[in-house]
Amino acid sequence: MANITYIEASGQSTTINLYEGWSLMQGATANGIDGILGECGGSCACATCHCYVDEARLADLSPATESELQMLDNVAAERRPNSRLACQIKSTAMLEGLVIHLPATQE
Ligand code: FES
């Protein structure tokens, strides 16, 4: 389990204790966080789970795969160096306390 904090573009902050192995996208959609859509169900095919990861914690995440990097070209909001797809980040104890910011739009 890891406590993950999602901060929506409105400033609304929600912290979820996310099961090990669940993706950050699954945690958001299961808990009614509007800033992540997850339209493809987590198969890295829609880019509607775009998030900005706290830059100080990027090294705690598995690096983005080539397919994730390609899909990040399709995000609706500005792509930044700390942009990731929330469906490709799995909860582990290493992520305890992680903060992600959600863009103003996903489509
Ligand atoms: S849920 Fe579709 S790319 Fe992440």
What's the 87 CA to ligand 1 centre distance in angstroms? 5
How many Cβ atoms sit within 10 Å of the Cβ of residue 40? Answer: 16
Max CA pair span of the chain? 32
Q: Using alpha carbons only, how large is the chain's radius of gyration in Å?
A: 12
The CB of 87 under 6 Å from ligand 1? The reply is yes
Give 104's DSSP letter.
S
- pLDDT bracket for residue 24 (50, 70, 90): very high
Ligand 1 atom with minimal separation from the 86 CA: 4
SS3 50: strand
Domains of the chain: 2-101 (3.10.20.30)
SS3 22: coil
- What local confidence, expressed as pLDDT, does residue 47 receive? 98
Q: What is the pLDDT of residues 32-87, one digit of tens each?
A: 999 999 999 999 999 999 999 999 999 999 999 999 999 999 999 999 999 999 99
What's the 35 CA to ligand 1 centre distance in angstroms? 13
The CB of 84 under 6 Å from ligand 1? The reply is no
Answer yes or no: are the C-beta atoms of 98 and 53 closer than 8 Å: yes
